[in-house]
Amino acid sequence: MRRTLILGSTSPYRRELLGRLKLDFDVMAPQVDETPRPGEAPAALARRLALAKAHAVAAQRPHAVVIGSDQVADLAGEPLGKPGTHERATEQLRRMRGHSVVFQTAVAVVCRETGFEQVDLAPVRVDFRSLGDDEIETYLRAEQPYDCAGSARSEGLGIALLDAIHSDDPSALVGLPLIRTCRMLRAAGLQVP
């Protein structure tokens, strides 16, 4: 039986990334509370939310193979989510300047009917330059990355904020680690080129 593939995400970045694999897939919005639990480490939060998103969609489409993903910026153990506003983005970038931040990107693949479930983490260490307040303001006005964990969109102008990116799965920083995703989709029984 050929199974439907569903991306359990409203992120246009994840949709674009998954589209690179030339697979047919549907998109469904998972209904998941993304509030961190008290004392929850950023990596654990990303893994929990990726799995929760996959399960939320799989509960509605048990025959499908469902991908869930989440990303949390980790500044010295403190989770930084999507800023949502210009003021919070400014604060995040001021705190991250001159530091290394680990973007914890988790992906989960679930098929309720077969009982398949895998989750993996693709950490990406990003070294931020020592940014001036004027650079931060110019970047935020131009890019408006208020829907991105850590306020930095590396696939756009945000790359100019960085000194280095360290990763074994380059698409993880954008929001979906495709190397791990391909591995998990194959394990779930899908053919990936």
Tell me the catalytic residues. 70
Residues 185, 6: contact at Cβ < 8 Å?
no
Please tell me the distance from the alpha carbon of residue 35 to that of residue 21, in angstroms, as a whole number: 31
Residues 26, 87: contact at Cβ < 8 Å?
no
Please tell me the distance from the alpha carbon of residue 140 to that of residue 74, in angstroms, as a whole number: 20
- Which segments of the chain does DSSP mark as H helices, in order? 12-19, 42-60, 86-96, 133-143, 178-187
Residue 108 CA, chain-centre distance (Å), reads 11
Q: How many CB atoms lie within 10 A of CB 31?
A: 12
